[in-house]
Structure 1
Amino acid sequence: MDRNTIIGLVLIFLIMIGFGYFTQPSKEEREAMQRKADSIAQVQALQQQKKLEEEKAEKKVASIEVDTIKQEQVESQLGAFSNATSGVEKFVTLENDLMKVTLTSKGGRVYSVELKKYKTYNGDPLVLFTGDENTFGLQFWGDNKAIKTNDLFFTPQSSDSVIVASADSVSLTMRLQAGDSAYIDYTYTIKPESYMLGFDIKFSGLDKTIGNRMGYIDLIWDTKLLHLEKGLQNEQNYTTIAYLFQNGDYEELNPRSKGAEKEEISNKLKWVNFKHQFFSSVIVAKDHFVNADLLSEKLNDGNHVKHFNARLALPFQNFAQETINLSLFFGPNHFKTLEAYGLGFEKVVPLGSNIIRWINKYVVINVFNFLSRFISNYGLIILILTILIKLVLFPLTYKSYSSSAKMRVLKPQIDEINAKYPKKEDAMKKQQAVMALYKKVGVNPMGGCIPVLIQFPILIAMFRFFPASFELRQQSFLWADDLSSFDSILNLPFSIPWYGDHVSLFTLLMAVAMFVTSKMNADQMGDSNAQMPGMKFMMTWMMPIMLLLWFNNYSAGLSYYYFLSNLITIGQTFMIRRFVDDKALLAKLHENAKKPVTKSKWQQRLEEMAKQQQQAKKKK
């Protein structure tokens, strides 16, 4: 850049500075401009504030109009009950030495139930249901209005938040107001040392407000039962809705259903039970329920077992003045406890039917309860019970073994008969000859089966008793921390189909003991059962494997009992073998063969059938 250029740039810069200095506004001009700007900003602010106030006023008017519309809708829908749509939720607890029942003013219903003497498997307080997961209230129509009391606010007729039944029964009334002299009362009554909660529903002065042409009024009960026990799968298999008809017949929804289970009942019911595996929530009618709709759904969220819903129709005629008497039972599924109420509650305990239930009810439970008076360890009680049962059945066991031994020592003679009649068309002659041999030596071929069949009901009775036995709940023995559930000694990182994700040691021991017992029985028969190799394989191998898979998630007490039973059977078999001499037994049979033979009616029929077959062949 040359000298002239630099001088030119400097002159331009000085000219610009001078122009800016001489053309700038004076102090008075700057103050006037500032006042003008402030005035404009103030006007804009006032305009904005006015606009906001106008919008706020418009919203307020709109809100008032919406609230008015809503109120009109509520009054249109609920009529006299419209004032009960809002309120402050209050809680009152009714308590005795056995349970704590919390009631809420919203719906006037039972909010939660805690059984004070029991805990969950995790050691938490045992709460059957709680919170908004439990819906309980009346549902009815009047003047085309659908009323659901569960959504309305009742007023507790007591200022106490906790009411305790220590010496005498105590009551609490929840009132749903429907005008000056019209209301619905829920009155709850609790007694000392009782799992029963009285529940009376009283209607007063509602005849002009609500009409009823049905002859009944609906009670809706909907709840989610909480997961309380160790094994969720086993708990779900015993959790269901049970109900008793007015004539005393007992039914329940299928607890093992994979989908939703529904039942529409048109006959009169005495009570409906939302039954846990070991606890019950029952609603009982003093008279009866007219009909009912029931729904059960399995839940797999980890916190709940199942979702239950029941619509129960209560006989009802007069809204002017009528009281419906009901009761609510919340307690354990302990057979003697349930039986003491005299309402058939004990039928929910799955003890089997007919002779199976008779054995459990009059023999097993009584022996179990008697032993529990002196022994606190239920593992030892099961051991003693098993020994007593095996001692009672020992004569049948001995007879079965003796019959099998007789057929085994006759095997050479049976083989001779088989060789004499090798053709299929001679099957009747062969069977007739075998039966004649048995008759001649005094052997009953069914002698080994009949004792087993007699013992079978006891095996089934034990199968029904142990998983349903409340006494075993949370009782530990050896490595099993809960005899009512599985005894896991190893948790697997994966799940095996039909088996599960853990290893139950008592089930494993039971399967091994059953295999040894079946193998000894097969050896005892020798080759006499060669015509039934499939049956031999089934009993020796398949049955233990099937029970190993089946019982892995079952009650440890049941597997322990079957293990002990098979173990004692093995010992009895070894002992009996020492007293049964095959040579002496065969000699005795030969002595019997020398005696005159009288044909039984069954043998006579077999011979007659054989003659008829021979005659039919000759005609052809």
Structure 2
Amino acid sequence: MDKKSIIGIVLIGILFFGFTIYSSRQQQKYQEELAAYQAAHPELTQPVVPDSSAVAAASVVESLGAATPDSTRLAREVAVLGDFLAAAKNAAPQEIVVENDVMKVRFSTGGGIVRSVTLKDYTRYGRQGERNEPIEMFVPESAKFDLSFFIKNGLNNVKVNTSEYTFTADPVVRTDTAQIVRMRLPVAEGAALEYRYVVYDEATPSRDYLVDYTVRLVGMAPYMANQSSIGIAWSNTSYRNERGFKNENMYTTVAYRVPGEGSIDDLSMSEGAKEEKISSSVEWIAFKQQFFSSVLIARDDFLYADVAYDTASPDSGLIKAFSATMAVPYTAQTEQYDFSFYFGPNKYAVLKKIDDAQGQSLLLDRLIPMGWGIIGWVSRWLVIPVFDFLRQYIPSFGWIILILAILIKIIVSPLTYKSYISQAKMRIIKPEIDALNAKYPKQDDAMKKQQEMMALYKKAGINPLGGCIPMLIQLPILIAMFRFFPSSIELRGQSLWWAHDLSSYDSILNLPFSIPFYGDHVSLFALLMALSTFGFSYMSYQQTASAQPQMAGMKFMMVYMMPVFMLCWFNDYSSGLCYYYLLFNLLTIAQTFLIRRMVDDGKIHAVMEANANKAKNKKKSKFQLRYEELMRQQEAQSRSGKKGTKRK
């Protein structure tokens, strides 16, 4: 053994000996402090005699000195939590049922939570495909709402999760317009956490689907540990309510609103799991399904939020498991938090009336996906008002959709007429266009041909985009209807002929197998819509191909592929939407035939010649002269460049 090894062994021995002496002194010091603390708190070493607030604990054991596992556990809980929380931890929960005209709410004293909500006016699809079960907003066993904070216990801080304790409940207080449920979680003598729920019965949907929820910290300040926030964890799992899992899942997500924003955000659609951390303050969070939502509203905003969902399997009877973790600010002066729950339908007339404490809209109506920009404006200011007006006088949704389609066709008819006139003019000048194509067959003359083509259009009074612009203007209306029908709860459960639910697909034949990109059923409305699309596309092609030869190459895509694509796409979509597009196509075909009978190509030709004669005598503007000069210069440069290349 060399000198270095001996020195190393000696040093290790010295360190070990020193650590042993230090540990023994620390242990002695700890025992002295523990003895002093127990002398100051004799209740930790003696059997606890519960008072009236700890009856539940007294019923478990007669003395904490009993040598049983339960008594040992209870003694430990009392030592850590105190008499009151230990009693609440071991008490049996009970349920309280409150209902109004639109919903039944079941509360549980276990955690002081809303355990289940049943909507009375709506039913869901059962496993047998029949709509005979009332809407349950979430699976009762999955319901969780937990407040977490720290309280002081001697030298330690103890974390309290309200979901682990049983509250005590007062009798339900009934007034003319509401029912009030109060629950308390005693923390210490004269200190308690109090929940107050208010279920309204005002025959006003925007109030009756709301449950106001107030959290009061009664005498809690002396017992609260030093902390800047109180945590909130909210989660539940929602049932599958609609006929098609894929379509319902597409509209099911977690949505939220940042205060002051004019729109809302969400996690978007996914067939798996998704999560997001929101570092800014949040006004409300919604567990949103296609037609129903559970919303938690913070009247003074959350500090932040972490939201997530996980998609269930299609055959589970469930749709998604939602979760949200938030926090609210806390100071020693905090006495109360005000929240509200919304458990109800995604109905525009109801959601748009829910305001904040200052009377400003919470924008809960944005939970209904109506589109962005001009598309959303068309939905909110045209489609929905007309739809709601017609519903007041017409009971049949088939007639309502037909009248809506006719009204929209009347509104856009000037654009359709203008588009047809533009196409008619193109047909009339087609011989002259063919002559220009024959005159300039070479690519080198493309610029000159284009110049003469524009001169021809101008002489005939034709805007080359005249046939496209009117159709583009109609596009927002078509997209608005595409967004409106699948998300309109008014269509839910409404039947029309063979379709039993206009909000879902209609099926006249269930296939024993699934066809890729199509599905396992045959939707007759989707099939009829595709056939009408074929008829309209064929007629449009015949009309435009004669005037615009470049359209000939689009025949396969326009006439054949488009209807097939629409059939596969809409087979799982709302039958009400397919019915509307079917009517729209049929009305467009009828309108086109009517315009053809009204419009005389000969008269249009005469007007075009008169305009051309006027254009000859009209002096060209400076812009036109400069444009023509620029075109000549570009053509000259192009030719000189090509000649130079050939010489080289």
TM-score (norm 1): 0.85
**Change in 2 beyond 3 A, CA 1:549/1:606:** farther
> How far apart in 1 are the matches of 2:147 and 2:542?
68
1:394 counterpart letter in structure 2? S
2:414 maps to amino acid: P
Is 1:108–2:112 an aligned residue pair? yes
- Note closer, same or farther for the CA distance 1:338–1:589 as it changes in structure 2 (3 Å cut): same
Rg comparison, structure with higher value: 1
Q: Look up the match of 1:413.
A: 432
Counterpart mapping for 1:11-410 below 5 A: 64=67, 66-75=69-78, 78=81, 81-121=85-125, 122-142=131-151, 143-158=156-171, 167-192=176-201, 193=203, 194-213=208-227, 215-300=228-313, 301-318=315-332, 322-342=335-355, 343-410=362-429
Q: What does the per-residue CA deviation read over 1:555-589, in whole Å, with 9 as the maximum and x for residues that have no partner?
A: 11111101000001111111111122334433432
Residue 271 to residue 524, structure 1, CA distance change in 2 (3 Å): same
Partner residue, 1:494: 513
- Root-mean-square deviation (Å): 2.3
Structure 2 residue aligned with 1:589: 608
Q: Which secondary structure does the structure 2 equivalent of 1:178 belong to?
A: strand
Contact 1:404 1:525 in 2 (8 A): yes
In the alignment, is the contact (CA less than 8 A) between 2:525 and 2:578 conserved in 1?
Answer: yes
Deviation (angstroms), 1:226: 1.1
**Cα distance 1:542–1:76, how it changes in 2: closer, same or farther (>3 A)?**
farther
Once the two structures are superposed, residues 83-126 of structure 1 have per-residue CA deviations (whole angstroms, 9 ceiling, x without a partner) of 22222221101221121111001111000001122222322122
* SS of 1:273 mapped into structure 2: strand
Corresponding residue number in structure 1 for 2:30: none
Give the 3 Å change call, closer, same or farther, for CA 612–327 of structure 1 in structure 2.
same
**2:460 pairs with 1:441:** yes
Partner residue of 1:473? Answer: 492
Using the aligned pairs only, state the percent identity: 44
User: Secondary structure, in 3 states, of the residue corresponding to 2:118?
Assistant: strand
1:398 Cα deviation (Å)? 1.1
Change (3 A) 1:65 1:452: same
Judged with a 3 Å threshold, the aligned counterparts in structure 2 of structure 1 residues 93 and 545 are, in CA distance, closer, same or farther, namely same
Q: CA deviation at 1:209?
A: 3.4
CA contact (8 A) 1:177 1:184 kept: yes
The answer on whether the counterparts of 1:266 and 1:291 sit within 8 Å (CA) in structure 2 is yes
Structure 2 CA distance for partners of 1:171 and 1:586, relative to 1, 3 Å: same
Structure 1 window deviating more from structure 2 (324-333 vs 561-570): it is: 324-333
| Counterpart residue identity of residue 430, structure 1 | K
Q: Would you say the 8 A contact 1:189–1:198 is kept in 2? A: yes
* TM-aligned CA distance change 1:226 to 1:606, over 3 Å: farther
Instruction: Indicate if the aligned counterparts of 2:167 and 2:183 stay in contact, CA closer than 8 A.
Output: yes
Change (3 A) 1:429 1:200: same
Asked whether the 8 Å contact 1:339–1:346 carries over to 2, the reply is: yes
Cα drift, residue 606 of structure 1: 6.7
**SS state of the match for residue 376, structure 1?**
coil
In structure 2, relative to structure 1, the CA distance for the partners of 1:173 and 1:603 (3 Å cut) is farther
The 3-state SS of whatever aligns with 2:479 is helix
Once the two structures are superposed, residues 235-264 of structure 1 have per-residue CA deviations (whole angstroms, 9 ceiling, x without a partner) of: 111111111111134333244222212111
Structure 2 counterpart SS, 1:352: coil
Deviation string 1:393-428 (CA, Å, 9 cap, x unpaired) is: 111111111111110121111111011111112222
Conserved 8 A contact 2:238-2:320: yes
Question: What 5-or-longer segments of structure 2 have no aligned partner?
Answer: 1-63, 126-130, 356-361
Q: How many angstroms apart in 2 are the aligned matches of 1:369 and 1:549?
A: 31
- In 2, the alpha carbon distance for the partners of 1:377 and 1:602 equals 58
Contact 2:426-2:548 within 8 A present in 1 as well: no
Cα 1:401–1:317 change in 2 (3 A) is same
Contact 1:279 1:332 in 2 (8 A): yes
1:27 aligned residue: none
Q: Comparing 245-254 with 93-102, which one deviates more in the overlay? A: 245-254
Q: What is the Cα deviation at residue 164 of structure 1?
A: 5.9
Q: Counterpart of 1:614?
A: 636
2:330 & 2:586 partners in 1: Cα distance?
61
Structure 2 CA distance for partners of 1:603 and 1:371, relative to 1, 3 Å? farther
Once the two structures are TM-superposed, the CA of residue 613 in structure 1 deviates from its matched residue by: 4.2
The aligned counterpart of 1:46 is none
Structure 1 CA distance, aligned partners of 2:587 and 2:364? 36
Name the residue aligned to 1:16.
none
Match of 2:579 in 1: 560
Which fold has the larger relative contact order, with Cα–Cα distance below 8 Å and residues 6 or more apart in sequence?
Answer: 1
Residue 484 of structure 1: how far off its partner (Å): 0.5
Amino acid aligned to 1:311: T
**3-state secondary structure, aligned to 1:557:** helix
Residues 37-78 of structure 1 show CA distances to partners (whole Å, capped at 9, x for unaligned) of: xxxxxxxxxxxxxxxxxxxxxxxx999453355335545664
Q: Which residue in the other structure is 1:20 paired with?
A: none
- Show the counterpart of 2:540: 521
Separation of aligned partners in 2, 1:525 and 1:387: 25
User: 1:325-376 CA distances to partner (integer Å, 9 max, x unpaired)?
Assistant: 1111112111111112232211111111221111111111111111111111
8 A Cα contact 1:105 1:156, kept in partner: yes
1:52: which partner in 2? none
Task: Please say if residues 545 and 552 of structure 2, whose CA atoms lie closer than 8 Å, have aligned partners that are also in contact.
Answer: no
Distance verdict in 2 for CA 1:595–1:204, change over 3 Å: same
Whichever residue aligns with residue 71 of structure 1, its letter is L
Which residue matches 1:35? none
Distance 1:553 1:287, change over 3 A: same
Structure 2 SS opposite 1:614:
helix
Alpha-carbon contact 1:204-1:321 (below 8 Å) kept: no
Q: Secondary structure at the match of 1:120?
A: strand
Q: Distance in 1 between matches of 2:158 and 2:445?
A: 83
Paired with 1:602 and 1:188, the residues of 2 have a C-alpha distance of 74
How many residues matched?
554
CA distance in 1, matches of 2:335, 2:165: 20
> Per-residue CA shift, 1:174-214, capped at 9, x if unaligned?
1111122221111101221311111001112333433142x
Letter in 2 for 1:575: L
